[in-house]
Amino acid sequence: MLLLIVFLMCLFVVIGTGGLSALSDLRGMTIPNLHSLIVLGAFVFCYGALWFGGRDDVFASLASHIVAALIVFLITLAMFMGKLMGAGDSKLASALALWAGLKGLVPFIFYMSVAGGVLALAALALKKWAPVKAPKPESWVAQVQGGASKVPYGVAIVLGALASFVKIGYFDLDVLSSFVVE
């Protein structure tokens, strides 16, 4: 039961931090480094606790998670260097890919891309019609309505991560109930 609490606590910390990251990106197009560190730290703590508790079956192998994070980091680093993505987006995506592992990497990237496309369409609509009267200064809406071509990709990253978490079974009742039967 204690391991279930640890697992859920870490998962909720990651989801909450992801939500704060998405909100921060919407409000000012920045994602604090602390958010990526919290996501990373929650994974290390959770994986370690479950491994020591004999429940490392909840996650894939540690190598799978590290490789997924490295793949995402290298791709997003190249995107950052090409000025296609912000550094905060790169760090957050890499930290969340650590949670997804290789098993969840394809759903993570797929749903992140779909959400990013929807945000890009929203940006085009905001830019063309400027429907929001007096948006908060420095917010994404204000910047886009002012003519900037920006997308708060942190929102898409978090939505992609949530979808991958569902897809790989982190919220599966069989997985969660297996903690209680210990």
Distance CA 59, CA 53 (A): 13
pTM: 0.95
Spell out the residues 6+ positions from residue 53 whose beta carbon is closer than 8 angstroms to its own: 2, 3, 6
Instruction: Give 127-164 pLDDT, tens digit per residue.
Output: 999 999 999 999 999 999 999 999 999 999 999 999 99
Instruction: Give 118-134 pLDDT, tens digit per residue.
Output: 999 999 999 999 999 99
